Chains A and B, each alone.
Chain A
Amino acid sequence: MTPKGRIKLVSELLDLPLIDSEGKYCGIVDDVELTGRAGNSLKFRALLVGPGAWARRLPAWASWLVRITVGARVTRVPIDKIRTIGPAVRLKVPGRELGLHQSEDRAVRWIPRKGAL
């Protein structure tokens, strides 16, 4: 399936893993951005990734808890950066180009780069 094909957004796309052009996991489709109005046709514009996107789907107390513990960052992945949609959403570009690896980059500073065979 390609991003221009007809897809049932909620059931087919939401919560799928994202894999970038380098084969790296770079988040989950936490929400989608649509344009248009109720009653008119809606257009799929982008995927939204990050705690700020998935926290909105939780009950208010849980959403608050997520915001104060892991923040409310949201990264936007425009539709034209998507290569295919299947068991995972595959991107045409490296995740870093879209700002998707920030948390991994922060975490890696704490990991010593030695010792592993």
Chain B
Amino acid sequence: MNPLELTLGIMTAVGGFVDISELVFAARAGSTFGYALIWVFAFATIGIIIFAEMSGRVAAVAKQPVFNLMRHRLGLKLGLVTLAASVISNLITCAAEIGGVALILNYLTGAPYLLLAAGMTVLLIVSIWVLPFKWIERTYGLLGLFMIVFAVALVAIHPPWDQIALGLVPQVPSGLSTKELLTFGYFTVAILSAVMFPYEVYFYSSGGIEEGWTPKDLLTNRVTSIVGMGLGSLLAIAILASSAQLFGPANVDPEIPGSAALQAAIPFGKWGLILALLGMLFAVAGAAVETCLANAYSIAQYFGWMWGRRKKPWEAPRFTMSWIALFGLAFGIVLTGVDVMTLVEFAVLFSILVLPLTYLPLLLLAGDQKFMREHANGAVAKLLGWFYFGVITMAAVAALPLFFLTSGGNG
């Protein structure tokens, strides 16, 4: 295990953890329910760590990414349904990320939103075309570390640490009306979905293959997924806690990403705001790249095409055409004029609906001794995996009713 590579890998995972949905829901959760939803972030982070570790292990041991083996495990028809569901979910998420990037740039420059969305789509395509795979991962991941300003801002405003710690205990606040309880339920489901977006796992697994992981890299996989995603989640929790401290008492609902950035402006002024916006910009742009590439990976792997960003674009032509077309489609969705926050709502909603379908093959593969030999899921991984699968299935069933009953968390 190369310590420098490992550190960079962890830092990349931290910087790339937060995306537009987590930003929005962390800030809104804090302002609406104080510290009571921190445990959901912690709970969902353990879930994504479990599935990310499994996907990295499958990549390292079976030397095949998830979607290559998924079709074999689920069969052609169910595999096709899973692929379609995953592609639609990731496409909406990618559109939300592109819209989010354009919105943040709009705060920074004042230029027209749609023009910025078009410019950023082109820039993201060019960056994937030009940069080698590791640079793509690291450029966005490491620059996303500007987001640390949110954690520093939380320390600077001297929050009630005891209440934050109590927020880690699973709870439903007492004294809530039925309507508020439903909204609490909706936020719980939305945070679970935002943290456990399936694209993260597909991107991570395919990245492992691109980097040529072998069983020797299993420790790197475990450390990167646990530490990287664990620390990344702390940034989201910091946003929630700052929001609870600053926005909740003032009855401010930070619905748009710009409001979340104010958390750093309050203790650190203009430079805090700029750092927060830059961190958000790179983290969300990185998420746009990940969602789009994850989609192209899934399609190429399902049909057995050549794939990979380690190859030159012309060495995997159908894969290249796929990610460019997917960026075009995502931009097309933005171009329809749908509000970014509506896209975020849809991304989170659609993602939770398809989450069980996308995680089931991974769970089956990681437990399959034919492919995984002695590295197949042990008793603990099986227990945790199936437990989380049960939870996300229940969340998927509850998602639509909660969305309609609460008007998307707006009460």
| Chain A residues engaging chain B, CB cutoff 8 angstroms | 14-18, 24-28, 30, 49, 54, 57-58, 86-88, 103-104, 107-108, 110-113, 115-117
Interface footprint category on B = 20 to 34
Query: Which listed residue, B63, B72, B130, B135, touches A15 by the CB 8 Å rule?
Result: B72
B161 CB-CB contact with A under 8 Å: no
| Chain B residues engaging chain A, CB cutoff 8 angstroms | 62-64, 68-69, 71-72, 75-77, 79-80, 129-132, 135, 300-307, 312-314, 316-318, 320-321, 371
* Interface pair B77/A111, CB less than 8 Å apart: no
* Interface pair B306/A116, CB less than 8 Å apart: no
* Interface pair A15/B306, CB less than 8 Å apart: no
Smallest CB separation, A50 vs chain B (Å): 10
Smallest CB separation, B238 vs chain A (Å): 35
- A57-B76, A111-B317 are known contacts. Are A28 and B132 too (CB-CB below 8 A)? no
Kindly state the separation between the CA atoms of A27 and B302 in the bound complex, as whole angstroms.
9
- A25-B305, A25-B307, A117-B130 are known contacts. Are A108 and B64 too (CB-CB below 8 A)? no
* Interface pair A87/B305, CB less than 8 Å apart: no
Query: Which listed residue, B69, B77, B306, B320, touches A24 by the CB 8 Å rule?
Result: B306
* Interface pair A87/B63, CB less than 8 Å apart: yes
* Interface pair A54/B76, CB less than 8 Å apart: yes
* Interface pair A104/B317, CB less than 8 Å apart: yes
Kindly state the separation between the CA atoms of A92 and B252 in the bound complex, as whole angstroms.
65
8 A-B residue pairs with CB within 8 Å: A14-B72, A15-B79, A17-B68, A24-B306, A25-B300, A115-B129, A116-B129, A116-B130
Nearest to B303 among chain A residues (CB) is A28
> In the complex, what residues of A have CB within 8 A of residue B306's CB?
24-26, 104
The residue among B304, B305, B306, B371 with the most chain A CB atoms within 10 A of its own CB is B304
- A28-B71, A87-B69 are known contacts. Are A116 and B312 too (CB-CB below 8 A)? yes
Kindly state the separation between the CA atoms of A8 and B207 in the bound complex, as whole angstroms.
32
> In the complex, what residues of A have CB within 8 A of residue B312's CB?
113, 116
